Amino acid sequence: MHGRTILQWDKDDIDIVRFVKVDVLALGMLTASARPSIWSAPIPPLTLTAIPPDDPAVFDMIGRSDTLGVFQIESRAQMSMLPRLKPRSYYDLVVEISLVRPGPIQGGMVHPYLKRRMGEEIVVYAHPKLKPILERTLGVPISRSRSWRSRWPWAGSPRARPTSCGGRWAPFASAASCLR
């Protein structure tokens, strides 16, 4: 991020020095940047449907962690994951955001997912019944919903609550406890 300066303050410190707090999210900045006074050349009208969902230049920028001000992927933790995951689609971003959370990190799911995505590890399912549930995430239950869905085959239906499969959320451990 050559040429950029970022100052981060704790919200309580800002109160002490009597600075005005302004939260600026990416969507607000996009609205502000659409004003003609900000740009030297006129901007053609842009609608949500006109934005290409798979623009390679955008994903190249995201892959370089050039995401300052981009909601959900601007934190240091998210920015450090982006070059490793190299997202190339919207779903890749969903996975990336899901991985950088306490559950997947503490559950040991980050490295298996990354290794499988890079082809360094083969995709393995603890049981054949898990393949349709975990195939899209390379056999890794990266979210709470994937973890719960991985319990459904043993619970009998999606509406059943398989409480016998363990109470804490560590999806690898929880799914394995259902196999007993």
What is the C-alpha to C-alpha distance for residues 18 and 9, in angstroms, rounded to an integer? 12
Specify if 155 maps to a domain.
Answer: yes
Question: What Cα–Cα distance (Å) separates residue 95 from each residue in 4, 117, 121?
Answer: 28, 11, 18
Sequence-separated (6 or more) residues with CB below 8 Å from residue 36: 42, 43
Q: State residue 112's pLDDT score.
A: 94
Specify if 160 maps to a domain.
Answer: yes
Q: Which residues of the chain have pLDDT under 70?
A: 1, 6, 21-43, 156-180
What is the C-alpha to C-alpha distance for residues 149 and 38, in angstroms, rounded to an integer? 48
Specify if 144 maps to a domain.
Answer: yes
Full domain range(s) for residue 129:
124-180
Specify if 137 maps to a domain.
Answer: yes
Full-model pTM: 0.62
What is the C-alpha to C-alpha distance for residues 147 and 34, in angstroms, rounded to an integer? 41
Specify if 134 maps to a domain.
Answer: yes
Specify if 172 maps to a domain.
Answer: yes
Q: State residue 161's pLDDT score.
A: 53
Tally of domains within the chain: 1
For 4-155, list the strands marked E by DSSP.
Answer: none
Specify if 117 maps to a domain.
Answer: no
Specify if 86 maps to a domain.
Answer: no
